[in-house]
Structure 1
Amino acid sequence: MAQKSFKFSLLVILAFAAMSILAFAQTAEAEDFTPETAEPEKFYVALVTEVTELEAGKIVVVEIIKGERKGEKILIDNSGVQTAPQYVFAPGDKVVVGQFQSLDETIYYLADYYRTDQILGVLAFFFALAIFFGRGKGARSILGLAFTVAILVWFIVPQILNGASPVLITLAGSFLIAVVAIFLAHGLNVRAAVAFSGTLITLILAVALAMIFVEGSQLLGLGSEEAMFLQLDPSLTLNLQGLLLSGIIIGTLGVLDDVTASQAAVVDEISKANESLGFKELYKRGLSVGHEHIAALVNTLFLAYAGAALPLFLLFYINKTQPLWVILNGELIAEEIVRTMVGSSALVLAVPITTALAAYFIPKYRNTN
């Protein structure tokens, strides 16, 4: 009976909090964003059937293989087009063909290789592994992932484009993501409640740290090419510094639930093994395991960001015109340093916070039942 009461109370609290956040987001001061109207480009999936003039340029013949124009052949003059040397289109390649209107002329061009089938294959492989080895929890985690994508695409991004505060909207979206991802994967139980609480507290601390260090470092959010393009768009009025903070929040959330769920489970298992242990001993033993977790986490975010920015590291390495301290001082590198250090600090803080919550609430909940 007590367990049912706990679950019901938890559901009511979470539902009330979620509705409050959604209501806040809907009433936030924002202007509807309407993209500038322009003639949209059209794209087709095609198969390269013939390539000629390999030296002076390329005349490529493609056959559309999907859609209403399936079977139609198009001749594309690719001579004089500046592309990366790796883009060597050959007969048999699947490509994306773009079409746009220039005055009274219809122009076709080779946009890229067609990769959608391979991307779907990778996704299917990952989902199959998650379900096979994770069983029910793996399947529920995939549903949580789908919900995360939906929140990002249909809630956070539109609200930011409408002029809402990036930090507040991202926090609201992160709350919803954490609710669904944690409770869907781990169930409505005290472990999941502790993990969620630890995630929420740590995330708020991470936001505070990010604000302090972003403001203190005078970072403006202009460290990426994408941010520069957004700033140049006259139809957008975005807070780029807020976008930087939002990125830090989302990146931190991505690994926080792993840390908090693991620590809650560790303390729960220790408590089950010896129910006579009090808060102090449970916290001490749980933190002992947490120290190993911290040691493994120190490199986690750095390696994730470093892997994504490896070409950038190579570019700076061969740059001999600026001293190292000037490169590190630049906004592009400074952003990544602050992003990595704030995220890693949050992961480290999550261990003692979640351990303390688990050591206090898990034995109390078990004794109640």
Structure 2
Amino acid sequence: MNVLVVLAIILFGLMYWIGRGKGIRSFIALFLNFAITFVTIILLTYRDAAISITLVACILISLINLFYINEITQKTKAAFYATLLTLGILLAVIFVVVHFSMTQGFGEEEVEELGMFSLQIGVNFEKIAMSMMIMGMIGAVTDTSIAIASSMNEVFFHHPAISRKALFCSGMSIGGDILGTTTNTLFFAFVGGYLALIIWVKDLNYSLGTLVNTKVFSSEVISVLCVGLGAILIIPITAWLTTRLLIKKTVK
């Protein structure tokens, strides 16, 4: 039996054992997200609509991760609205960063590998770089937002008389605890995913200044920093929106 199939069966068994019905939905969501990502990559060849296609894909992924897995509740609504608001803010930031950093495309270290291919592919690499950052950010943003909204919902459920300020402060406190692990996760994901690149750059005997200014390295660092910025911004936005929705529901 294929190793991939065995690992998928083990994963499904563990997710069902831990999460029961929600675990099954989470397992199905993995394949739905993969299908959306695969279709998005194919559609990115339409150079004039790369950003729009990416935003639609991110919205669909958010809908699956929040509403399909966790159902439609106050906490998932708050997490979804917070995700959309954060995407809107970071879209402007990513556009400015990519435009002025000029890190899109391939670095000089990759010229030899690309020598056999045609470079006349008619794709706007600036928009592709923006799409990569947005897609890389959506997972961390939705994960952080639902964690904060769910925790705040539990606090409000056990203390329905809690004030608006106290509930918001609870959300910020929860977000502060999550922030440390989230940023570390992003850092080690970068190190693990680009370990071969780091070893390669070391063998080239680059100085620190040369390393920082290489396109292949700086583009990945900028991407990680933008994702980290999204993981930070989502905390106060989710805390604020969750507080408004929960308190508004009580008033009604």
TM-score, length-scaled by structure 1: 0.63
1:310 — aligned with what? Answer: 195
Residue 229 of structure 1 and its aligned partner are, at CA, apart by 4.9
Which amino acid in 1 is paired with 2:42? P
Q: In structure 1, what is the Cα distance between the partners aligned to 2:250 and 2:202?
A: 56
Greater helix proportion: 2
State whether structure 2 residue 121 is matched by structure 1 residue 121. no
1:261 — aligned with what? Answer: 146
Q: In structure 2, what is the Cα distance between the partners aligned to 1:144 and 1:158?
A: 20
- Does the 8 Å contact 2:140/2:227 carry over to 1? no
Larger Rg: 1
- Does the 8 Å contact 1:194/1:354 carry over to 2? yes
2:89 — aligned with what? Answer: 205
Which amino acid in 2 is paired with 1:358? T
**Structure 2 unaligned spans of 5+:** none
Aligned residues: 250
1:287 — aligned with what? Answer: 172
Which amino acid in 2 is paired with 1:246? S
1:136 — aligned with what? Answer: 21
Spell out, residue by residue over 1:103-161, the C-alpha distance to the aligned partner (whole angstroms, 9 max, x if none). xxxxxxxxxxxxx811222222222211211111111112222221121223x123222
Residue 288 of structure 1 and its aligned partner are, at CA, apart by 1.2
State whether structure 2 residue 181 is matched by structure 1 residue 296. yes
Q: In structure 1, what is the Cα distance between the partners aligned to 2:119 and 2:224?
A: 31
- Does the 8 Å contact 1:260/1:351 carry over to 2? yes
Which amino acid in 2 is paired with 1:259? T
Q: In structure 2, what is the Cα distance between the partners aligned to 1:262 and 1:365?
A: 20
> Residue 198 of structure 2: SS of its match in structure 1?
helix
State whether structure 2 residue 164 is matched by structure 1 residue 275. no
Change (3 A) 1:286 1:117: same
- Does the 8 Å contact 1:174/1:253 carry over to 2? yes
- Does the 8 Å contact 2:168/2:243 carry over to 1? yes
Residue 230 of structure 1 and its aligned partner are, at CA, apart by 11
**Structure 1 unaligned spans of 5+:** 1-115
TM-score, length-scaled by structure 2: 0.91
Residue 234 of structure 1 and its aligned partner are, at CA, apart by 6.2
- Does the 8 Å contact 2:46/2:123 carry over to 1? no
> Residue 131 of structure 2: SS of its match in structure 1?
helix
- Does the 8 Å contact 2:47/2:127 carry over to 1? no
Map 1:300-339; keep pairs closer than 5 Å.
300-320=185-205, 322-339=206-223
Q: In structure 2, what is the Cα distance between the partners aligned to 1:232 and 1:169?
A: 26
Which amino acid in 2 is paired with 1:206? L
Change (3 A) 1:234 1:319: closer
Q: For CA contacts below 8 A with separation 6 or more, give which structure has more relative contact order.
A: 2
Q: In structure 2, what is the Cα distance between the partners aligned to 1:233 and 1:131?
A: 47
23, 27, 34: which one aligns with 1:149? 34
Map 1:1-369; keep pairs closer than 5 Å.
117-154=2-39, 156-223=40-107, 225=110, 229=114, 232-233=117-118, 236-320=121-205, 322-368=206-252
Q: In structure 1, what is the Cα distance between the partners aligned to 2:154 and 2:122?
A: 51
What is the aligned-residue RMSD (CA, Å)?
2.2
> Residue 235 of structure 2: SS of its match in structure 1?
helix
Q: In structure 2, what is the Cα distance between the partners aligned to 1:139 and 1:360?
A: 31
Q: In structure 2, what is the Cα distance between the partners aligned to 1:135 and 1:334?
A: 43
Greater strand proportion: 1
Change (3 A) 1:229 1:195: farther
Q: In structure 2, what is the Cα distance between the partners aligned to 1:191 and 1:285?
A: 15
Residue 328 of structure 1 and its aligned partner are, at CA, apart by 1.4
Residue 220 of structure 1 and its aligned partner are, at CA, apart by 2.4
